[in-house]
């Protein structure tokens, strides 16, 4: 069984969209989306520096657009399940037919702006905690007042909180663990994002929503969601609640996953999968050069989804 996944914020790098815009029709599609949401996606994906694309209001629509563009370049694919990490869940909602691409980009633009506003209230951020005993790591974060915002599996937990709390974590690491500060502009998936929930809920009320046509695995609890309305409700609540990517991967295993493709800008989720899902074939769509390998994987593993 093939699973198609979309990465979250932090996966973007300067210029990563450039090779994708050379594909037939890609520049026109990006231009249409840019006009629809009032953001020059081509500029930010090709010319902007790391600080510019770190901006939450820019990074989130840029990531969704890149994911959709790379899947369009793949051609016909019917995965056995779809999922996304954090903002990647909106990309996955398009894969599953819950939203159309223009509606999804408008929704994620609103999400990014609202979360950026919430992040401006106080100085907050996130750090990856790699290694250590998971239970001990969670207890350690709790003692420091931090939230386990992403429980990613494969020995990776992302802590979120104030700058002071994260500085304390850097000085007082959990036993046998490394701490790496992440290039994100806020404590996402925590109560610090609560002010953005109402804004997103209002935007969601105006969406045209369909039920998923593919199995959609949710960050909230790793469960498959069959109602489009429930998918949207979870997307709204998700911004102030932890991402349980570990539970998503447990569901992939239960469903018999044999291959996983991560859409552009791929790498993060395939890296986790290589550690947490041994034996599962993976391809990360980093550039169009990866499309041939992804198509080969589809030919071998997507048949079980038919």
Q: Which residues are catalytic?
A: 86, 189
DSSP-derived secondary structure for 2-36: EEEEE--TT---TTTTGGGGGSTTHHHHHHHHHHH
Residues forming a β-bridge with 217: 224
- Residue 21 CA: distances (Å) to CA of 7, 17, 91, 198: 19, 6, 18, 35
The CA angle 244-248-250, to the nearest 5 degrees, is 115
Contact (Cβ atoms closer than 8 angstroms) between residue 81 and residue 1: yes
Half-sphere exposure of 113 (CA within 13 A, CB side): 13
Q: Is 235 helix (H, G, I), strand (E, B) or coil?
A: helix
């Amino acid at each position: 069984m093939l699973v198609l996944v979309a990465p979250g914020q932090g996966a973007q790098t300067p210029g990563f969209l450039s090779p994708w815009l050379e594909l037939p029709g890609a520049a026109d599609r990006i231009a249409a989306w840019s006009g629809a949401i009032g953001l020059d996606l081509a500029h930010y994906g090709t010319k902007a520096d790391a600080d510019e694309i770190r901006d939450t209001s820019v990074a989130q629509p840029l990531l969704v657009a890149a994911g959709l563009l790379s899947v369009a370049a793949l051609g016909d694919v019917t995965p056995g399940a779809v999922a996304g990490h954090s903002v990647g869940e909106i990309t996955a909602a398009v894969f599953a037919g819950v939203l159309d691409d223009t509606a999804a980009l408008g929704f994620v633009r609103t999400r990014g702006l609202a979360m950026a506003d919430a992040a401006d209230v106080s100085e907050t951020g996130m750090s990856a905690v790699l290694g250590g005993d998971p239970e001990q790591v969670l207890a350690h974060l709790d003692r420091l007042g931090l939230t386990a915002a992403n429980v990613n599996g494969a020995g990776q937990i992302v802590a979120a909180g104030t700058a002071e709390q994260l500085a304390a974590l850097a000085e007082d690491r959990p036993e046998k663990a490394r701490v790496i500060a992440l290039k994100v502009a806020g404590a996402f998936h925590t109560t610090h994002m609560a002010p953005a929930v109402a804004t997103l809920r209002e935007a969601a009320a105006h969406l045209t929503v369909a039920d998923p046509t593919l199995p959609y695995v949710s960050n909230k609890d790793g469960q498959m969601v069959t109602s489009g309305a429930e998918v949207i409700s979870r997307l709204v609540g998700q911004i102030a609640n932890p991402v349980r990517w570990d539970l998503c991967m447990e569901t992939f295993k239960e469903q018999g996953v044999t291959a996983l493709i991560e859409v552009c800008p791929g790498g993060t989720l395939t890296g986790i999968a290589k550690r947490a899902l041994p034996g599962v074939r993976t391809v990360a769509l980093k550039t169009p050069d990866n499309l041939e390998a992804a198509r080969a994987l589809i030919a071998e593993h997507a048949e079980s989804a038919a």
